[in-house]
Amino acid sequence: MKKVERINVMMRYINNRAHFTISEIMQEFNISRSTAIRDIREIEAMGMPFVAEVGRDGGYFVMNNSVLPAVRFTDNEIKALFIAFMATRNNQLPYLKSRQSLAEKLLGLISENQQDDLVLLNQLLLFEGTNPDNPDLLDLSDLPHPLLEKLIQLLLLDRHLSITVNEGKGIKSYRIYLLHLYHENGFWLIEGFDIKDEQKRIFQVDNLTDVELYPAENRLCKKKILDKLRKQEEAINLVLELGPKAISQYKKYHPLSVSISYTNPFQTTAMLKTFINVHHPEELNEITNWLLFLGGDIKVKEMPEKVVKILQERLSLFCP
């Protein structure tokens, strides 16, 4: 561990303890006694108010009501933070106003030469998803859905939610247990377990009109929910292996109830596993249309006979 990194970690270590000794510092950071003493003196010189205790059980403690001193950044650490911000602009991220204030504070902490470097990087570097006509990191032009931050705050308290969704044909309410909140193809999506219908559903955050915590009465515990999902997964009857062209088609459009898992780091192959209710005409028709939309770059591992028959009938119209 480099010295700058060790000092920063050591400050957090010390600030979280009422009392510490040289021996504890030596053991925690695997350093010599002389190095531990030098590090402690350097941290003390930065403004952390230590009080030394003499005697056999002596050591140091931090005075009450003290605060952690400012953390120092190297040039490369500042660039790493700034580029991380740049890479996520124009992505409708939550806490965007807070990120803007963080970037402004970061710029205010550094020298004019360092500021010039960051301004130049902001002009030169473009990442996937960046709008080249609006690359300014400090411009809040891509605020997320106003309920996204509220949703995240509620999730930190509880994952049992009552959501109201605009489904085009009307407003509908659901009681869900949220499994995941994720960002895909420019949209924030909720993957949740519908408590009433006992099935997994996916909702676009953009379609939310309200979200609240669900009252504690008559809840299903997490273990029961996961058990029900596990049993449903055992009933999966459609398994496909997708190649790069099919993945490209998938990204253009897919039913919100269907997701894929990539099978290599380059995201050029993926597996699709889902359950098709062959006794539900609307769902069956939607899925078969979508399978044709994916194209020929798929390998069928498992598929209901009824779906196979419908696909063959439709393909025969084009290839008599």
CB distance 263 to 242 below 8 Å? no
- What is the rounded average pLDDT for all residues in the chain? 82
Q: C-alpha 306: how far from its chain's center? A: 38
pLDDT in 10s for each residue of the chain, 320 residues? 778 788 888 887 887 777 888 888 899 889 998 998 888 888 887 777 777 776 555 678 776 655 555 566 778 888 888 888 888 777 778 888 888 888 887 777 788 888 888 888 887 887 776 666 665 656 666 778 889 999 999 998 988 999 999 987 789 999 998 988 988 777 888 988 888 888 888 898 999 999 999 887 767 787 888 887 777 666 788 899 999 999 999 988 887 667 788 888 778 899 998 888 777 777 788 888 899 999 989 999 999 888 898 888 888 876 65
Please, what CATH class does the domain formed by 3-62 belong to? mainly alpha
Q: pLDDT by residue (tens digit) across 38-70? A: 888 888 877 777 777 765 556 787 766 555 555
Q: Which two tokens stand for residue 317?
A: 């119209």
Determine the pLDDT at residue 84. Answer: 86
Classify domain 238-318 by CATH number: 3.30.70
CB distance 285 to 218 below 8 Å? no
Determine the pLDDT at residue 154. Answer: 92
Non-local CB neighbours of 305 within 8 Å, separated by 6+ positions:
none
Q: pLDDT by residue (tens digit) across 96-125? A: 888 888 888 777 778 888 888 888 888 788
CA nearest to 107, candidates 130, 135, 129, 86: 86
Q: Which fold has domain 146-233?
A: SH3 type barrels. (2.30.30)
Non-local CB neighbours of 211 within 8 Å, separated by 6+ positions:
147, 150, 151, 154, 161, 162, 163, 164
CB distance 148 to 188 below 8 Å? yes
